[in-house]
Structure 1
Amino acid sequence: MKFGKKLSALLTPEWRQQYICYQDLKDMILHAVERRSTKPAHLISKTDSFFVDFETDFFFECEKELRKINTFFAEKLAEARRRYEQLVTLLGDVYGNSRLGSISASRLSLMRNRVIGGMKGRGSKKELSKLRMAFSELYLHLVLLQNYQLLNYTGFRKILKKYDKILGDTKGKEWFLKNVETATFHTDRNLDNLISNVEHNVTEYLANGNRAEAMKHLRVPPLDEVQSNWTVFRFGLFAGAFIVLLIIICVADFQGMIEVQHLVLFRGPFYVVVYLLLMAVNVYGWRRVGVNHILIFEIDPRRHLTYSHLLELSAIFGVLTALSVLGFIYAKNLHIPRFSFPLILLITMGLYLILPLPIFHLDSRLWLLKVMGRLMAAPFFPVNFADFWLGDQFNSMTIVFADFKNLLCFYFRNPFLSENYKHEKCEVEDVAINACVSCLPAWLRFAQCLRQYRDNRKTHPYLTNAGKYATVFPTILFATLMNAYRGLRQDKVMENKL
């Protein structure tokens, strides 16, 4: 892989502007070579003059890049050092000793047992867990800074080597030895010392002296986020199966075997399939343009779903939905009640979400359930970015809530899966419940806005947004009253006809 592509793949997205502008420097060299090759022989002297100016401009840009990198590295290192000192102070408070490094091994073991023994029934265990997570995040930051250090050093070495090779000069190497080899970002060893100190403190004080356990918590995922070959293979397998099943469904519809009015039972689950697919496209797009959604959504960088995982989930649920539709179509041949297939699909999706076993992306499912729980209890918790983002997503999926409500209503009212029960009844008869379900997404965002106003005391945008979402309530109220009036009027007309 060429270094330019490697740099784009390995850089930390939110620091993108702080890395060496490798491609710009490379373009400067190529432009100079191109200009030299197009000059006629009688203008050689001007070409030489041009290269004197180019050399000055090129090394001026290199100096500017080096200053930028040194400054940013120093800022981030100072920030990490302050954070480390804060965490060491907190750790010292837990152990009752502000000078942790001076504790002997025997005394440390005694103190560790005392702390662990005193955790029962109190909040100390939670405090240690928070400290472990904080050290883990600091360690990730330090490793990213170390990666920043290495990539920029390699970038300067590569571009200056290219300068000498293409222009037949040695000034690039000379500049590299004089400036980059002695640069602060390359020679400063404080970063390595901080990394060692974090590893030591986590091992000794938060992992009971077990280094393997400590490094398990501190482990940093691959920085280039390589997609698993098995995940990609499974996505291809299930996507292919879904396409085949979809063709079979289309053929069955062409033959008149599908009662279209019953397909509404599958609409809610199918929306989930489409949403997962579009979410995968979003994650891929964010990654390509350098948006660090893992940081923004406060997701564990060591355990999270990539776009290939989301594509795989979309394909799997797509296959399950298609199989349910085919089962519904051919239920008589299978001698199974046809209304059992939407129910099985609904239960499968629900079990996947709440299954407490450490399989099927448990960490990601717990994160989603946590955010959904905070969203449903919107007024009682501070609002994080992920909370109001999910609230906005729900506002775009009001029809999905209505479909799942009607699906649940159908099976609660028809527990024996009778063929005679009309699923349209839930849509027509539950006027008040339908109105509440339609208001639910807007209410969640309305409550979040009020909570944000309480916490920040800013009329705009919080009260302004609350007013915007509040307009949904009278809209749905009057729409519900109008539909109810229209229904009564139609009933009266029918009575008069009879």
Structure 2
Amino acid sequence: MKFGKEFKKQKVSEWTEAYVDYNGLKHILHGIRSFRQNNPNLARASSKRLSLKNFNSSSLHESNIDNHDDIENQVIVVHTVHQENSRKLYNTRLIVSPTEGEGQVDRKAGVEMSCRSQQQPGSSGVDLSFQERHSDSHPVVDVLHRNNSTNGEITDEYETSNLEILDRIKISNTYDSPMSTIRGVFTDTREKGLSYNKEELKEVEERLKIAFIEFYQKLCLLKHYSFMNMCAFSKILKKYDKITSRFVARSYMKIVDDSYIGSSDEVTNLMERVEAVFIKNFLNSNRQEGMKLLRPIRKIERHRITFCSGFFSGCTVALIVAVILLIEDRKLMQIKSATLYIEIIFPLYGFFTFTVLHMLVYAANMYFWRRYKINYPFIFGFRQGTELGYREVFLLSSVLGVMALATFLVHMHIKMDSETQHYETYIELLPLGLIIVVLAITFCPFNFMYRSSRFYLIKCVFRCVCAPLYKVTLPDFFLADQLTSQVQAIRNFEYYICFYGGRQLTRRLKRCSNNEVYNVFYFVLAVVPYWFRFLQCVRRLFEERDSVHGYNGLRYFTTIVAVVIRTAFEFRKKIAWKVLALLSSAVAAIANTYWDIVVDWGLLQRRSKNLFLRDKLIVPHKNVYFVAMVLDILLRFAWLQLVLILDVHSLHGKTVSTIFSCLEILRRGLWNFFRLENEHLNNVGKFRAFKSVPLPFTYYEDKDDNDGNERDEKDE
């Protein structure tokens, strides 16, 4: 693989703009080559004037040209272009004779190596300025610097200073739980004293462990960032020497090697100290196990996943064809009793239809996120090495589709075959058995079938259900948004309870539709996903004090009103309810469409260099964004079809609502891609590539500590 492709592949996506512009420099070299090819005589004459002995290197720290040397003998000029807060930016320039047409290099004037992280409240960040600087003191770094890097042991000085650090540390409860949230509302937030049980101390230790791992991985990214930039400099200079025969690579690389990015070993030393402290205190000096945690092995894509995905997807297509042929062969849609029976059992299998479709859409999202280098594992907080790829998700959806279709095919064949109707009692339990198997696998505690991903999903669902008692993170509200597109599947799950709660098959459909409890929950379950999002917005409004979350919560509240009125219209076919349903649905659709395009996708920005879009775009074809906006509008207002109830010929029963529920799932998949693209671009703009890890303590400086002591004395 060529270095350019490898360089692009190895970039930390959040720091793309801070890397050496390798392609831009290659473009300059192509211009130089073209000029030399078009002017061979001038190029040869210039080469004779310049020889290797005339090249001198200028120190990066002493930026002006030496007065004793003639300017024609200089290869590189380095001067300070900015100085602020003990940090210096240097601009390097390669001097080339303008008669060669290589003045392009003068005008492009070197590379500024800087990457700043704009740390936001509550988020972790790191200063990545590769210039001269003076590092500020930090308690954790101070502790690590006291580690003896030669033998990995903690010195007596560290043991003594440990108590001094503890004097400036205040233990805080960072474990967010429903009970802690409730206590924070009804109790005084001031400290009443420190008393912790073993479970809480274990939680503190686990959080510190995670913090060390994240900090170490930050250092790994920094080291890799430095290495790749150094390689890019080396490669581009070799290309320059080859094209121009100037032989300046060694001189220029000496300047780069002497710079902070090339000469500093601070990151390497700090990595060694983190390793020593982490392995000794958390792994009982077991280095092998410690390095497995600090440097997790990247997940290897296996061919058997691809093979199984293809096999089960082929089986899915074959089963779909078999179901269609069975229905057409036996004319089931023309027999009234058969049609009624299909309408009775369809919601049982419809639950799997919506679930499989959503999984397929999510797999497609993951494929395109990966193709366009959207860092979705980091944004969702997946643990490296355990996250599912699009192949695994596609495999799971194919397996579930095969199970559901095979069950449905057997169910219909036995039910419609007169010779096997005496098995009717048993085949009614097939959908129930299928969903029990799925739930059993989902909640199975044993380590098989992607256990970490299953429990991650369960945890997110639990946090959604407990809203607003948990601090809202992106995976929580992202999952809650997915649930808003699965209202019909949630209602089908309710139908399971009603269906298997009846005694006689012929009365089950009528019993469910006439049961008051069923109708009440039919209302409630349609509102629940939107209610989760509303409560999450309320929680974020009180925590972040940002009015945007209030407007977002109001949007979900209008959607709740529209859903309630529309559901009431389903039960009472009156003109008044129809008008109210149309008005409320139209208002909700307009608000949701505006929020999708402007807020969630960040499009339709004023004064954008990309008309009606935004400044930064990941997809190279702009037409994709306009098509996505149009589709989002059409699919949002397709919701009104369920209110208008237009007469669609050849569609039976709940087929219309099923079709539009599937369209809503497809719209959600479209929303997913551009929502995460916008999140990724915002993340890149802040140069963040790390997770926020709240520490279970707060460190106070001397001044703050003294002020705190004085306040305590006054209180006493």
TM-score range, shorter chain: 0.7 to 0.9
1:162 aligns with 2:239: yes
Matched with 2:326 is 252
3-state DSSP of counterpart to 2:258: coil
Matched with 1:274 is 357
Kindly report which structure 2 residues correspond to 1:262-411, keeping only aligned pairs within 5 A, or say none: 262-331=345-414, 335=423, 337-411=426-500
Match of 1:215 among 291, 312, 326: 291
Contact 1:18 1:72 in 2 (8 A): no
Kindly report which structure 2 residues correspond to 1:60-209, keeping only aligned pairs within 5 A, or say none: 60=109, 63-66=110-113, 72=128, 74=130, 82=138, 84-85=140-141, 101-103=154-156, 121-176=198-253, 178-209=254-285
Cα shift at 1:200: 0.8
Contact 1:80 1:142 in 2 (8 A): no
**Identical amino acids, percent of aligned pairs:** 24
3-state DSSP of counterpart to 2:296: coil
Instruction: Evaluate the alpha carbon distance shift between residue 42 and residue 293 of structure 1 in structure 2; reply closer, same or farther with a 3 A threshold.
Output: closer
Cα shift at 1:104: 10
Deviations along 1:144-196, one digit per CA (max 9) or x if unpaired, are 222212211111122222222234442244322x3222231122111111111
Cα shift at 1:266: 1.4
Instruction: Evaluate the alpha carbon distance shift between residue 253 and residue 82 of structure 1 in structure 2; reply closer, same or farther with a 3 A threshold.
Output: farther
Cα shift at 1:68: 5.9
Instruction: Evaluate the alpha carbon distance shift between residue 106 and residue 140 of structure 1 in structure 2; reply closer, same or farther with a 3 A threshold.
Output: closer
Matched with 1:479 is 566
In the alignment, structure 1 segments of 5+ residues that lack a partner are 92-99, 108-117, 488-498
In the alignment, structure 2 segments of 5+ residues that lack a partner are 47-96, 117-126, 148-152, 161-194, 333-338, 575-716
3-state DSSP of counterpart to 1:380: coil
Cα shift at 1:67: 5.4
Q: Distance in 2 between matches of 1:485 and 1:329?
A: 33
Q: Distance in 1 between matches of 2:551 and 2:279?
A: 50
Q: Distance in 1 between matches of 2:441 and 2:301?
A: 23
Cα shift at 1:476: 3.6
Kindly report which structure 2 residues correspond to 1:452-463, keeping only aligned pairs within 5 A, or say none: 452-458=540-546, 460-463=547-550
Cα shift at 1:351: 1.7
Cα shift at 1:246: 2.5
Instruction: Evaluate the alpha carbon distance shift between residue 197 and residue 412 of structure 1 in structure 2; reply closer, same or farther with a 3 A threshold.
Output: farther
Matched with 2:28 is 28
Match of 1:467 among 547, 554, 569: 554
Deviations along 1:35-82, one digit per CA (max 9) or x if unpaired, are 554679899999983533134345x2xx2244569x83549x999994
- Paired residue total: 457
Matched with 2:120 is none
Deviations along 1:239-269, one digit per CA (max 9) or x if unpaired, are 2222232332333233246655343321211
Greater RCO (CA < 8 Å, at least 6 residues apart): 2
What amino acid does structure 2 have at the position aligned with 1:436? V
Instruction: Evaluate the alpha carbon distance shift between residue 376 and residue 138 of structure 1 in structure 2; reply closer, same or farther with a 3 A threshold.
Output: same
Q: Distance in 2 between matches of 1:479 and 1:318?
A: 31
Matched with 2:624 is none
Cα shift at 1:443: 0.9
Cα shift at 1:83: 8.0
Q: Distance in 2 between matches of 1:79 and 1:230?
A: 50
Moved over 6 A (4+): 39-48, 77-81, 104-107
What amino acid does structure 1 have at the position aligned with 2:532? L
What amino acid does structure 1 have at the position aligned with 2:252? W
Contact 2:13 2:373 in 1 (8 A): yes
Contact 1:431 1:480 in 2 (8 A): no
Match of 2:106 among 45, 56, 67: 56
What amino acid does structure 1 have at the position aligned with 2:32? A
Q: Distance in 1 between matches of 2:142 and 2:459?
A: 28
Contact 2:364 2:390 in 1 (8 A): yes
Q: Distance in 2 between matches of 1:312 and 1:199?
A: 38
Q: Distance in 1 between matches of 2:543 and 2:265?
A: 42
Instruction: Evaluate the alpha carbon distance shift between residue 322 and residue 44 of structure 1 in structure 2; reply closer, same or farther with a 3 A threshold.
Output: farther
Q: Distance in 2 between matches of 1:290 and 1:201?
A: 34
Instruction: Evaluate the alpha carbon distance shift between residue 43 and residue 126 of structure 1 in structure 2; reply closer, same or farther with a 3 A threshold.
Output: closer
Q: CA RMSD in A?
A: 3.6
Q: Distance in 2 between matches of 1:204 and 1:42?
A: 66
Instruction: Evaluate the alpha carbon distance shift between residue 165 and residue 457 of structure 1 in structure 2; reply closer, same or farther with a 3 A threshold.
Output: same
Q: Distance in 1 between matches of 2:276 and 2:536?
A: 42
Q: Distance in 2 between matches of 1:79 and 1:304?
A: 36
Contact 2:144 2:270 in 1 (8 A): no
Q: Distance in 2 between matches of 1:284 and 1:78?
A: 43
Matched with 1:446 is 534
What amino acid does structure 2 have at the position aligned with 1:85? V
Contact 1:427 1:434 in 2 (8 A): no
